[in-house]
A and B are shown apart, each in its own frame.
Chain A
């Protein structure tokens, strides 16, 4: 059974650019949640996708957007990057929603914005 994978591992961008992060969910999971973990902080919920539809969003601006594909993999897109967007981005997959079942996390993508 393949776990949750994320790509790329690291990314460096400059302010104002756009970035796309990718996540492959664990086999059998149809729900993907994205979290932002700033340095020294706990992860914060960005949004969740369930069966290709956005199913809830945290306190993040619209320049954070996402997609979920028919195979339940997902993308996180961030436009007009700001310095404060520098963080570890984690995706988590789970079976169904609400996600009272265990959420399995990927290793994350570390984004640095210069």
Chain B
């Protein structure tokens, strides 16, 4: 069965610093992986997705993620944090089967200090 694990429930960085949010996956088949962002009192917005094409995936708002099969990882990075990046971030994997529902990690809350 597919699953994802997000390391660190809370990450705090200074404005302008590197953002690194960690996600490891478990999947018996080549995974489809996603990063979503959730701002307070809002739904989820797709940042980027990996669908077995390029291993380095670029998303919106300057975020990118690298798929590393050997490490079963799909970490999210951004070179320079902005105050507006403060939000909760969820890593997700597509479940197999006909419905292809998303299986989410528990989330990482990103705080950005001025």
Contacts and interface: CB of A to CB of B under 8 A. Distances in A.
Interface of A: 4, 33, 35, 40-45, 48, 50, 55-56, 58, 90, 92, 97-100, 102-108
A52 B61 CA distance: 36
B43 A45 contact: no
Given A41-B106, A41-B107, A44-B104, A98 B43 contact: no
A98 B99 contact: yes
Chain B interface main SS type: loop
A97 B43 contact: no
Nearest to A50: B99
A42 B107 contact: yes
B95 interface: yes
Nearest to B105: A42
Contacts of A104: 46
A10 B32 CA distance: 33
Contacts of B105: 42
B44 interface: yes
Given A105-B43, A105-B45, A42 B100 contact: no
B96 to A, nearest CB: 8
A33 B99 contact: yes
A50 B95 CA distance: 16
Interface string B12-24: 0000000000000
Given A42-B107, A98-B94, A99-B94, A48 B43 contact: no
16 contacts: A33-B99, A33-B102, A40-B106, A41-B107, A42-B107, A44-B104, A45-B102, A56-B99, A58-B101, A98-B99, A100-B32, A102-B46, A102-B49, A104-B46, A105-B44, A108-B42
Contacts of A103: 46, 102
